[in-house]
Each structure stands twice: as structure tokens, then as C-alpha cells.
């Protein structure tokens, strides 16, 4: 399994997100508390938006806690929207092209979980990808193929519907192969302006996912906390597990839910798979 975070708000140094919180993603790479395993050392990635329309990405097969380039870049790159992911492989090779986040055009995508029965379903799922998109698949993970299925089903026009159709296809395909619970997922995707996060599993026992609460309210509750005064009111995070133990700072995303973050607000919607027409 893996751990990830998605940040939206005023421009922030990536260092502030990855290294400085009490239970930062770097800490989680060595000792995750809510993941399927404590260590997530099979690579990492960071995606961010700057002056151009296409996001930048830095990915490595090195453990996040041991990468000097990541620390140096994090001290110098500032962005209003950041994705970061630490990986624990459950079978696919530890290589750069298998590290998240994945990028296509303006879009980023990262996934915690797995597609059970992927080996037997892989050919069928590959054949469902739009032929124009297929050459852009670089790695061998179920997560990247999941991304390209969502793109095939219209991610750039309607992300919740596209992800629902992709999950519907995966579950329908799995049923033909006798796989009962194929999808385990928390997913984040963005176009650089809005973040969509999803928590869902076929068996109804999804991996952990949380979103941050209103910063202005926390600032009133904890007037002596310097970290809160450095964040803008529109700051929002969606994370695999809380970055600290500040009471009231995090809310769990319910099972089978899509959380949408845009312009300092968040909306929660029910999420259910759909069969593609």
C-alpha cells in the first residue's frame, strides 16, 4: 500500500508539507500509523503547479527518507497545489515509471490500494483504453492503467463520473474472472485548480482518508499555534492519514465518498461505480 497528500491553498514551500509536520509524509515513509504496513520505501513522487499549464513532477525509486535531491528541491519549490506520494509496492517493479503521481497533460493522478486479480484482468483492461491514449502509458502498475481508463471515460470533462465508470468496468471485468472484491482505492486527481479525492473499495472496507478542517476556525481555537498562522484561510489538504494530532484539524472521509476541493471549500458526495454505456 501507499500514503499520499494533496494540498491546495496559498503558495507554500514543498518542504513545509513533506518535512515539517509532526507526522509528515517523510515520517510516514518510515512509520505509517494507518497504512497496511508501516514502511513505504519503494519510491516516491511530487507533483506541483507553477507558471506553466503543465505540472512539474519529480519521481524516484529511492526511499523518500533517503533522497537528498528531494530535500533540496523541497526547500526551493513553492506552489499553490501539490501532490505527493510514497510507495509500497505489492508486486509491480520498483522503478521510476511506476512511481506516482502520474501525469497526462494538465492532469495528475495518484492511488493508494490495488486491483485484485490485476494479472488476469490486465489484457482486457488494457484493450479498453482509448487507442490515442495508450502510447502514453509508461509503467506496469494497476494504478497507472486505472488513470488511463479514467481518462478514456472522460476524466477531463467530469472526473467523478469518469472514475465511477472506470471502477464499474474493473468490477464488471473482475466478475467474469471470479474475482469478488477487485477494487481497493483512495485516489486523488487534479487539473491544477480543483482536487477530487475518492475513497471506495468493492468490499466496503477502504483504506484511510482524511480532509482538513477550516483553518480560520482552528486559528481561533489554538491562537498560540504558529503553524496555523502561516496558512491561508483557503488551505485544504486531503491525506491518507493526519499530519499531526491537533484536535479537530482532520475529518475522516466516509466510505464510498468523493471529496471535491476548490477555492478553499470542500464538498462531499456519495461515490458509486457505474457501468459504462
Tell me the pLDDT tens digit for each residue of 178-205.
Answer: 999 999 999 999 999 999 999 999 999 9
- Mean pLDDT (the chain) is 92
Percent of the chain predicted with pLDDT > 90: 75
Instruction: Identify the band that residue 228 occupies on the pLDDT scale cut at 50, 70 and 90.
Output: low
Whether 1 has a pLDDT exceeding 90, the answer reads no
Look-up of cell digits 500500500: 1
What's the rounded Cα separation, in Å, for the pair 244 and 231?
A: 15
Q: Is the pLDDT of residue 218 over 70?
A: no
Give residue 225's pLDDT band: very low, low, confident or very high (50, 70, 90).
low
pLDDT score recorded for residue 92: 83
Task: List C-alpha distances in Å: 227 to 97, 154, 163, 214, 248.
Answer: 35, 39, 35, 14, 15
pLDDT at 5 over 60: yes
Measure the CA–CA gap between 241 and 210, rounded to whole angstroms: 6
| Predicted confidence (pLDDT) per residue in 46-68, tens digit | 999 998 889 999 999 999 999 99
Which one has a higher pLDDT value, 213 or 106? 106
Question: What pLDDT, on the 0 to 100 scale, is given for residue 220?
Answer: 55
Instruction: Write out the DSSP string of 252-264.
Output: EPPSSEEEEEETT
Band (pLDDT 50/70/90 cuts) for residue 135 is very high
What was the pLDDT predicted at 6? 97
* 233: pLDDT strictly greater than 90: no
Q: What is the pTM of this model?
A: 0.94
Burial of 35 from C-beta contacts in 10 A (0-12 / 13-18 / 19+): buried
Q: 69-73, 150-154, 169-173, 264-268: which has the minimum mean pLDDT?
A: 264-268
Q: Looking at the predicted structure, is the pLDDT value of residue 26 above 90?
A: yes
Amino acid at each position: 500500500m501507499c500514503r499520499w497528500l494533496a494540498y491546495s491553498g496559498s503558495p507554500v514551500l514543498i518542504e513545509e508539507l513533506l518535512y515539517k509536520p509532526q507526522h509528515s509524509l517523510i515520517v510516514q515513509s518510515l512509520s505509517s500509523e494507518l497504512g497496511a504496513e508501516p514502511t513505504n520505501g519503494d519510491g516516491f513522487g511530487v507533483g506541483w503547479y507553477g507558471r506553466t499549464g503543465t505540472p512539474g513532477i519529480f519521481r524516484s525509486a529511492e526511499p523518500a527518507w533517503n533522497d537528498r535531491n528531494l530535500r533540496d528541491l523541497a526547500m526551493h519549490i513553492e506552489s499553490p497545489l501539490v501532490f505527493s506520494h510514497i510507495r509500497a509496492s505489492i508486486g509491480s517493479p520498483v522503478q521510476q515509471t511506476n512511481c506516482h503521481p502520474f501525469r497526462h497533460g494538465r492532469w495528475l493522478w495518484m492511488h493508494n490500494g490495488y486491483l485484485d486479480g490485476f494479472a488476469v484482468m490486465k489484457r482486457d483492461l488494457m484493450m479498453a483504453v482509448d487507442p490515442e491514449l495508450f502510447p502514453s502509458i509508461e509503467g506496469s502498475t494497476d494504478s497507472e492503467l486505472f488513470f488511463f481508463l479514467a481518462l478514456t471515460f472522460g476524466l477531463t470533462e467530469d472526473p467523478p463520473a469518469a472514475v465511477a465508470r472506470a471502477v464499474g468496468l474493473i468490477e464488471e471485468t473482475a466478475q467474469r474472472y471470479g474475482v469478488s472484491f477487485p477494487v481497493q482505492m483512495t485516489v486523488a486527481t487534479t487539473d491544477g485548480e480543483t482536487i477530487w479525492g475518492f475513497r471506495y473499495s468493492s468490499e466496503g472496507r477502504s483504506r484511510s482518508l482524511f480532509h482538513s478542517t477550516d483553518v480560520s476556525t482552528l486559528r481561533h481555537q489554538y491562537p498560540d499555534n504558529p503553524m496555523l498562522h502561516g496558512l491561508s484561510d483557503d488551505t485544504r489538504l486531503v491525506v491518507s492519514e493526519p499530519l499531526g494530532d491537533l484536535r479537530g484539524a482532520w475529518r475522516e472521509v466516509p466510505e464510498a465518498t468523493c471529496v471535491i476541493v476548490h477555492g478553499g471549500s470542500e464538498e462531499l458526495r456519495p461515490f458509486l461505480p457505474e457501468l459504462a454505456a
